[in-house]
Amino acid sequence: MKWTVEREHRDFQSLHNRLRLLYLRRREKLPEFPSSTFPFWLGNFGASTSSKDGSKKDIKESISQELGPGIAAGIGALAGAVGGGVHDMKKKDIQMMARLKLQEYLTQMFLFLRWRPGLNRLCKFLELSTLGIRLASENSYHGKEGWLVIASAKGSNAAIRCNPRLYKRRHTPKWFMVRHSYIVAVEDMEGLNIYDVLLVDSEFKVEWHALPGLRHPVEESRKDTRHHFFTISNAERTFKLASQNDKKMMQFIDSIRMMKEITPWSQKHRFGSFAPVRYNCQCQWLVDGVCLLNVAVLILA
């Protein structure tokens, strides 16, 4: 099971702050957040640091205190391999050290939250769901996962009734998953009850709403996206979805576009069929029904 999650450093900080509030009055202590991975600290990685008493420390001492002895030794070995000190290290090498430190932080957080409250926050951060793990046996495309709100849906078979409870249920956030040839929604991240499924066909498309009531193709400029709505549709149904922010919306759109490019179900097929040609199948087309009728006459006789 392999998947890609796009996260910024501020997302790691937000996750840690929320977990700190959750364990504020508890005896358990969370793993410490690696402060050495802050962007402003990485920008001044080659400069000397000042201590509380006003004396300046060498960068090597700062590395040992901030990153720990193991990472500091790795930095020294890497600097020696390139033939220079810490001041001569490249920015990408420093970023790789910060990445390893964040990876170690996530591993410690997983071990800490195994049987404690707050694990759902970490699973949401890493886009892990129960149904997504169940569908991993398909060994197919595993795209973006997250919460979206169905603003409107056309072509649905469900009857719309003026019931406040049903209205609230329809407009509560659903956990959406982008798979190899369909987009599935469940009511809960840890649930297996499927709320709705949108299949990909040759008329499948994605559009985002730059202004209320106006749609634009995804290929156009995306710098002025201020409305967090986008539309996905196929030959039968249309969904208007709302996301929490533009960043999340664009991640969903990019994931859906990538899925559309690699899946054979989104292409035009012969005879106007919605399904691609599949080989080594046991079924065959009945071009002429004469043989079938002759067999039926023999059976009835």
Q: Read off the CATH number of the domain in which 170 is found.
A: 2.30.29.30
Nearest to 121 by CA among 242, 255, 22: 22
Percent of the chain with pLDDT over 70: 71
More confident position, 153 or 122: 122
Residue 64 resides in a domain: yes
Q: Give the DSSP letter of residue 268.
A: -
User: What mean pLDDT is predicted for residues 170-180?
Assistant: 90
The reported pLDDT for the residue numbered 179 is 93
Asked if 39 and 86 sit in the same domain, the reply is yes
Asked if 143 and 216 sit in the same domain, the reply is yes
Asked if 86 and 115 sit in the same domain, the reply is yes
Mean pLDDT of all residues belonging to the chain: 76
Q: Which amino acid is at 154?
A: K
Highest mean pLDDT (candidates 88-97, 159-168, 289-298): 289-298
Question: What distance in Å separates the CA atoms of residue 144 and residue 177, rounded to the nearest whole number?
Answer: 6
More confident position, 191 or 54: 191
Q: Name, in order, each residue with C-beta under 8 angstroms of 79's C-beta and a sequence gap of 6 or more.
A: 85, 86, 88, 89
User: What mean pLDDT is predicted for residues 8-14?
Assistant: 87
Question: What distance in Å separates the CA atoms of residue 233 and residue 260, rounded to the nearest whole number?
Answer: 12
User: What mean pLDDT is predicted for residues 210-228?
Assistant: 52
In angstroms and rounded to an integer, the radius of gyration of the C-alpha atoms of the chain is: 27
Q: Name, in order, each residue with C-beta under 8 angstroms of 97's C-beta and a sequence gap of 6 or more.
A: 67, 71, 74, 75, 78
Residue 73 resides in a domain: yes
Asked if 193 and 171 sit in the same domain, the reply is yes
Residue 118 resides in a domain: yes
- Looking at the structure of the chain, the number of domains it has is 2
Residue 281 resides in a domain: no
Are 195 and 187 in contact by the 8 Å Cβ rule? The answer is yes
User: What mean pLDDT is predicted for residues 142-146?
Assistant: 91
Q: Parallel, antiparallel, or unpaired for β 229-233 and 214-217?
A: unpaired
The reported pLDDT for the residue numbered 144 is 92
3-state SS assignment for residue 118 = coil
Asked if 113 and 143 sit in the same domain, the reply is no
pLDDT bracket for residue 120 (50, 70, 90): confident
More confident position, 135 or 213: 135
The reported pLDDT for the residue numbered 285 is 65
Residue finishing a domain among 125, 157, 189: 125
pLDDT bracket for residue 35 (50, 70, 90): confident
3-state SS assignment for residue 217 = strand
Asked if 120 and 178 sit in the same domain, the reply is no
Asked if 202 and 94 sit in the same domain, the reply is no
Asked if 87 and 172 sit in the same domain, the reply is no
Structural domain for 48, as ranges:
9-125
Residue 116 resides in a domain: yes
Question: What distance in Å separates the CA atoms of residue 273 and residue 294, rounded to the nearest whole number?
Answer: 29
User: What mean pLDDT is predicted for residues 204-216?
Assistant: 67
Question: What distance in Å separates the CA atoms of residue 3 and residue 276, rounded to the nearest whole number?
Answer: 26
3-state SS assignment for residue 41 = helix
Asked if 117 and 30 sit in the same domain, the reply is yes
Over residues 47-57, the pLDDT tens digits come to 444 444 444 44
State both tokens at 171.
């407009």
pTM of the model: 0.69
Question: What distance in Å separates the CA atoms of residue 3 and residue 239, rounded to the nearest whole number?
Answer: 25
Predicted confidence (pLDDT) at residue 175 exceeds the cutoff of 80: yes
Least confident of 111-115, 198-202, 254-258, 276-280: 276-280
Predicted confidence (pLDDT) at residue 273 exceeds the cutoff of 50: yes
Asked if 194 and 113 sit in the same domain, the reply is no
Predicted confidence (pLDDT) at residue 275 exceeds the cutoff of 80: yes
Residue finishing a domain among 83, 109, 125: 125
Percent of the chain with pLDDT over 90: 16
Question: What distance in Å separates the CA atoms of residue 243 and residue 240, rounded to the nearest whole number?
Answer: 10
Are 128 and 110 in contact by the 8 Å Cβ rule? The answer is no
Question: What distance in Å separates the CA atoms of residue 264 and residue 244, rounded to the nearest whole number?
Answer: 31
More confident position, 241 or 75: 241
Asked if 116 and 138 sit in the same domain, the reply is no
Residue 101 resides in a domain: yes
The reported pLDDT for the residue numbered 174 is 92
Predicted confidence (pLDDT) at residue 255 exceeds the cutoff of 60: yes
